[in-house]
């Protein structure tokens, strides 16, 4: 029984060597483990001849202890701790049996079977532990496999989600592009509505330019005649008229110029730059453009245009094109509403659209009021929504009020309130902060 | 001969005065102006008898030229009825028909051809 500890050390070295055979540790530890397996055999051969059985027991126990302690210090064999610990009973049983055998020979004789049993039991204990630890390791391996599986699944899911995220981002980008396009279309649509109004507004000043220059040519001939006759007083009067006419020509030229510039500004993408602006000028300009726009489409349409513009209105910081578009939209809607009512009621109805501006505290209030068909309660909540329109298909984009809301509320920190009674009329109240 | 010109554009006034400079100086023609249909009607209430010809723009804010024409025909039926000529920038068929139906004597388009107008005045 005195060789158990050597046998255990030998088997331990073999077992570990086999366990790491197909791992990265194999190369590193191969030689050391081979030597460790050989050492017990060599020691047994050397000491078996020279020492008593008890002496061999002590040497073998000490060797086994040293071997275990050495292995336990190695980081690489952490997973074998259970197996290594299982050897301690054998170490203890061997060394104690040896020491007792050497020092208390008679006592040992008497209890020999007990000591042998202890050694045998602790030797068997190793195998018992080994089989359970093997099960544990199998379990561990299974858990590891399961973990790998789960990790693979998580990775797959993550990839899937990432792809979905990218697709969504792509979609959002596309939607944003579409939105920009729609806004541009809405601008062009409202420009289309304006075209007739613009043509009329330009035609008028152009007529004046033509008429005044023609009449001025005639006047110069007359002036020459008067001068030939020697009537200098009359000639001077005519000269004054001519001068006045040239001023009128310039005035109406500038008027046409301003309208063309306004038109270009309307269709151009907004610069988004706020600048001190005279709201009255914009309101007045778009008021007439919107009216003539509808007038040109339907010759029978007529409305009373009332402008109550506060002459003391200070310049306010706004993006003129954007706010102009909002007003144009309000005017177009108002004219549309009174026109609809006129179509239904007929001759007795007097369409009236009014724009007013005034300063209230730290805000400017612009009211566009009509006596048209009004907004039914059922749709009051919807009219600010994009793509909502009551106009027949193809006539409205449904973006006018929605964009107006964005411009006034989001971009200018203002408000839009609607006061409407079905059948009686509508007032859109726009408030913009003064500073 | 007194002519009432109705147009919301104020600059029409010097234009007429200069175009008819000689006629005015020779006291052949006299002009009065109104800047809206409403103003024209109140003017006519007092001076209906003096006015021989009314030249009215159709496209004006508030009372349109066509409405003014209707009022004139209703309010002043006593013969001889005033001659009313409508002027418009929209010289289309529909406008023309509407004006004629309401009792216009003539229909002129902008830009106004003053030589043509003078010819027409001679026949009055």
DSSP string, A296-328: HH-TT---EEEEEE-TTPPPEEE-HHHHHHHHH
**Phi and psi for A233 in degrees, rounded to 5?**
-60, -50
- How confident is the model over A85-112, as pLDDT tens digits? 888 988 888 888 888 888 887 888 888 8
Residues of chain A with CATH 3.30.565.10: 272-435
- How confident is the model over A415-434, as pLDDT tens digits? 999 998 888 899 999 999 98
Q: Please state the domain extents for chain B.
A: 2-122
* Residues 193-232 in A contacting B (C-alpha not used; CB under 8 Å): 200, 203-204, 206-208, 210-212, 215, 218-219, 222
- Where does the pLDDT of residue B109 fall: very low under 50, low under 70, confident under 90, or very high at 90 and above? confident
Asked if the Cβ–Cβ distance from A304 to B62 is below 8 Å, we say yes
- A80: which residues sit within 8 A by CB, 6+ positions away? A16, A19, A71
Are the CB atoms for A272 and A320 separated by under 8 Å? no
**CA angle at residue A197 from A373 to A408, to 5 degrees?**
60
Element (H, E) at A69: helix A53-73
At residue B79, does pLDDT exceed 80? no
Are the CB atoms for A75 and A105 separated by under 8 Å? no
CB A353: neighbour CB atoms within 10 A? 26
For B90, name the nearest residue in chain A, comparing CA atoms only.
A296
Using an 8 Å CB-CB cutoff, list chain B residues near A248: 11, 14
> Which one is predicted more confidently, A241 or A379?
A241
**Phi and psi for A428 in degrees, rounded to 5?**
-100, 125
| Amino acid B84: pLDDT | 94
Are the CB atoms for A374 and A337 separated by under 8 Å? yes
Please name the residue that has the structure tokens 């209430």. B45
Which CATH architecture does the domain made up of B2-122 adopt?
3-Layer(aba) Sandwich (3.40)
- Where does the pLDDT of residue A257 fall: very low under 50, low under 70, confident under 90, or very high at 90 and above? confident
Using an 8 Å CB-CB cutoff, list chain B residues near A244: 14
- Where does the pLDDT of residue A365 fall: very low under 50, low under 70, confident under 90, or very high at 90 and above? very high
The CATH code of the domain at A272-435 is: 3.30.565.10
- How confident is the model over A101-145, as pLDDT tens digits? 888 878 888 888 888 888 889 888 888 888 887 788 789 899 999
- A1: which residues sit within 8 A by CB, 6+ positions away? A116, A119, A120
């Amino acid at each position: 029984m005195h060789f158990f500890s050597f046998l255990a050390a030998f088997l331990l070295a073999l077992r570990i060597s086999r366990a790491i055979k197909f791992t990265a540790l194999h190369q590193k530890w191969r030689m050391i483990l081979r030597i460790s397996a050989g050492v017990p055999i060599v020691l047994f051969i050397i000491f078996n001849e020279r020492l008593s059985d008890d002496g061999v027991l002590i040497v073998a126990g000490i060797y086994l202890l040293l071997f275990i302690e050495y292995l336990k210090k190695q980081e690489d064999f952490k997973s074998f701790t259970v197996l290594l610990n299982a050897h301690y009973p054998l170490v203890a049983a061997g060394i104690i049996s040896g020491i007792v055998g050497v020092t208390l020979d008679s006592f040992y004789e008497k209890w020999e079977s007990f000591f042998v049993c202890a050694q045998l039991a602790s030797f068997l204990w190793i195998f018992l532990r080994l089989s359970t630890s093997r099960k544990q390791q199998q379990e561990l391996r299974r858990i590891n496999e399961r973990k790998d599986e789960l990790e693979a699944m998580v990775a797959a899911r993550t990839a899937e989600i990432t792809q979905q995220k990218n697709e969504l981002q792509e979609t959002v980008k596309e939607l944003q592009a579409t939105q920009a396009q729609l806004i541009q279309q809405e601008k062009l649509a409202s420009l289309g509505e304006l075209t007739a109004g613009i043509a009329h507004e330009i035609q008028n000043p152009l007529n004046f330019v033509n008429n005044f220059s023609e009449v001025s040519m005639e006047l110069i001939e007359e002036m020459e005649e008067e001068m030939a006759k020697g009537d200098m007083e009359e000639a001077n009067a005519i000269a004054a008229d001519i001068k006045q006419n040239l001023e009128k020509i310039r005035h109406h030229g500038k008027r046409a110029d301003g309208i063309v510039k306004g038109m270009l500004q309307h269709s151009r993408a907004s610069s988004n730059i706020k600048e001190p602006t005279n709201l009255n000028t914009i309101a007045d300009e778009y008021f007439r453009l919107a009216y003539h726009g509808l007038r040109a489409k339907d010759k029978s349409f007529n409305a009373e245009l009332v402008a109550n513009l506060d002459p003391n209105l200070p310049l306010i910081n706004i993006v003129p094109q954007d706010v102009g578009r909002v007003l144009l939209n309000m005017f177009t809607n108002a004219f549309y509403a009174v026109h609809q009512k006129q179509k239904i009621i007929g001759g007795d109805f007097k369409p009236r659209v009014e724009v007013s501006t005034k300063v209230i505290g730290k805000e400017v209030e612009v009211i566009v009021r009509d006596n048209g068909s009004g907004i039914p309660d059922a749709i009051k909540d919807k009219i600010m929504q994009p793509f909502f329109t009551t106009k027949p298909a193809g006539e409205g984009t449904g973006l006018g009020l929605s964009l107006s809301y964005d411009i006034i509320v989001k971009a200018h920190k203002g408000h839009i309130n609607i006061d409407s009674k079905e059948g009686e009329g509508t007032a859109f109240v726009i408030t913009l902060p003064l500073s | 001969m007194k002519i009432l010109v109705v147009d919301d554009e104020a600059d029409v006034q010097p234009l007429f005065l200069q175009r008819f400079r000689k006629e005015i100086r020779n006291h052949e023609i006299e002009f009065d102006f109104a800047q809206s249909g409403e103003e024209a009607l109140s003017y006519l209430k007092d001076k209906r008898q003096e006015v021989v010809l009314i030249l009215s723009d159709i496209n004006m804010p508030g009372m349109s030229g066509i409405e003014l024409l209707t009022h004139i025909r209703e309010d002043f039926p006593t013969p001889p009825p005033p001659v009313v000529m409508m002027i418009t920038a929209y010289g289309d068929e529909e406008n023309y028909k509407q004006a004629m139906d309401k009792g216009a004597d003539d229909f002129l388009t902008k830009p106004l051809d003053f030589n043509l107008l003078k010819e027409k005045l001679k026949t009055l």
